[in-house]
Amino acid sequence: MARKSKEQILSGQAKNEKEINGIFQNVSCFWGIDRVEITNLSIVDIDSDLLAEQRLLLKSKVKYSVEKDSMTGMMKYTRIEIKDIGGIKGNMFTFGFTIDGHSFSILSLVHGGINIETVGIPGIRARLYSVTACLQSQYGIRLYTGSATFRRMEIAFTGLFDGRVPTRVRKILISQFGSAVRSYITYSKSKKRSKDDMDIQTMEVKNTHAEKTSLDYVLYDKTAELQRKVAQKELPEDYDFKIYRFEEKILKSQTIKDLLGTNEVTDLQDTDVVQHISNDIIPAIENGYLSFFNQSVKCARSYLSKWDKNHRTPGWQKNLINMIIKEESEYNTIKVIDEESFLHLGIGGDNGARTQQRFVHACEKLSKDDSGLDRNPFCRMDGWTVEQFIMEMKTACDEAKSNGLGVHRTFCHADSNPKSIHLNYGVIPDKEKILKQLSKGCKNRNDILYRIF
């Protein structure tokens, strides 16, 4: 791809920022469907002459291949790929014929452009009809879609945030779907790069259990994805907002049917997908986080039991917290979420209450000594930020129940600002008061989820 001029890049960036403003004009986050693959498309007719003509004109878009048997050398099937249908990069139709005359077909559909907007099932059907019309008019391929089924589907939550979501928060969220979190680390391109510019842009969980291999989960930074495209640089590096996307990737047609009730394109409805989000995805994150929190309290208790009285010199709480932070950094793990974990240790008596409060004061002292976003996670209250993120997911799900999946746009003025999510990072009114109440009376963490928002 040829490099664009500086003027073209700046013009494209301004256009994309306006596009984002339009997407997030009414809501700061939404659930929708991103990429899908559709199969069981019947090939009614092919204009071989028109297809051959297009193959000559668009060599990079239309590709033929022949698959042979590795043992006999006999032809097994012919395969034809048509890429970027309708001018949308990512739209692709793959079809072919076996030696015994059977046909196969797979149609991949994406939104195109900067690919932030997602849609509901009606939007997917509209994409399907648009692409099949293009295949017929431009390539001479006529398809019957009445028996079409979904082969793969990506269900996505997309949110516009007014700042970076801390790495630990994202890791806690995605790890609820599996312990094998694969991370992709990138750095800021700024010449004045510091150690804090390192950020994990993408986290992915691939389930290893045999019965779950048809589900993958990913949480990634859409803004960084757009900023690092070398040829286009579709957003400036100093863009004010961060767009994060969480995706559930359903990789098998039968799994789509099991989770959503049907995999047929003509039968599936938005309500089926929203019900899955409400009954399966969000509860999985909530329950997983509560288990994570309980494990965090156990870790806090274990650290405290190992820190015997010989270590308890003045300021020992601060030293213990620094040790935990250091170990987490060295082993790339999360052991204690934040200072609230020290309030659930179940230490009895006045001394126990004082010990718990001293941990809170030690965390607050650390926050004043070192205000870096990632250097002192304890005072930042990552647990509360996780809860806020999940709450935004629930709010967006409620919106989808009322209005359907995807983005519902209205007229957008060029200078209008988008709606965005402000993360508190623990800096909320009455924080110390809330922590003090928790240390006195909170016995069951399940009863207080979302209580601070």
Domain-located, residue 121: yes
Question: Ramachandran region of residue 174, left (φ > 0), alpha (ψ -120 to 50) or beta?
Answer: alpha
Q: What is the dihedral of CA 334, 337, 343, 346, to 10 degrees?
A: -40
3-state secondary structure (DSSP) of residue 403: helix
Domain-located, residue 46: yes
Q: What is the pLDDT of residue 210?
A: 45
Q: Please spell the DSSP secondary structure of 39-58, one letter per residue.
A: E--EEEEE-HHHHHHHHHH-
Residue span of the structural domain in which 127 resides: 41-147
Domain-located, residue 367: no
CA distances to 27, 110, 312, 398 from 121, rounded to whole Å, are 20, 13, 61, 17
Tokens standing for 159? 């949110």
Q: What is the pLDDT of residue 186?
A: 47
Q: What is the pLDDT of residue 230?
A: 44
3-state secondary structure (DSSP) of residue 80: strand
Using alpha carbons, select from 313, 338, 314, 340 the residue that is nearest to residue 324.
Answer: 338
Q: What is the pLDDT of residue 342?
A: 77
Q: What is the pLDDT of residue 189?
A: 44
Please compute, for residue 220, the number of CA atoms within 13 A of its CA located in the half-sphere on the CB side: 20
Per-residue pLDDT of the chain (453 residues; tens, 9 = 90+): 456 677 777 777 778 888 888 889 889 999 999 999 999 999 898 888 888 888 877 777 888 777 776 676 666 667 888 988 888 888 999 988 777 777 789 999 998 878 899 999 999 999 999 999 999 999 999 999 999 999 999 999 999 998 888 888 898 898 888 755 666 544 444 434 444 444 567 788 776 554 556 888 999 888 887 776 544 566 667 677 889 999 999 999 999 999 999 999 999 999 999 999 999 999 999 988 888 888 988 888 888 777 666 566 777 777 787 888 888 877 778 888 887 787 776 654 455 566 666 666 666 666 555 544 445 677 778 888 898 899 999 999 999 999 999 988 765 555 678 899 988 765 666 666 666 666 665 555 555 555 555
Domain-located, residue 93: yes
Domain-located, residue 73: yes
CA distances to 39, 43, 264 from 144, rounded to whole Å, are 11, 6, 14
- Sign of the CA dihedral running 428, 432, 436, 439: positive
Place of tokens 């329950």: 287
Q: What is the pLDDT of residue 231?
A: 46
Domain-located, residue 226: no
Domain count, the chain: 1
Domain-located, residue 187: no
Q: What is the pLDDT of residue 359?
A: 67
- Sign of the CA dihedral running 438, 443, 445, 451: negative
Are residues 432 and 367 in contact, defined by beta-carbon separation less than 8 angstroms?
Answer: no
Using alpha carbons, select from 423, 440, 410 the residue that is nearest to residue 169.
Answer: 423
d(Cα 304, Cα 186) in Å, to the nearest integer? 36
Domain-located, residue 49: yes
Q: What is the pLDDT of residue 429?
A: 61
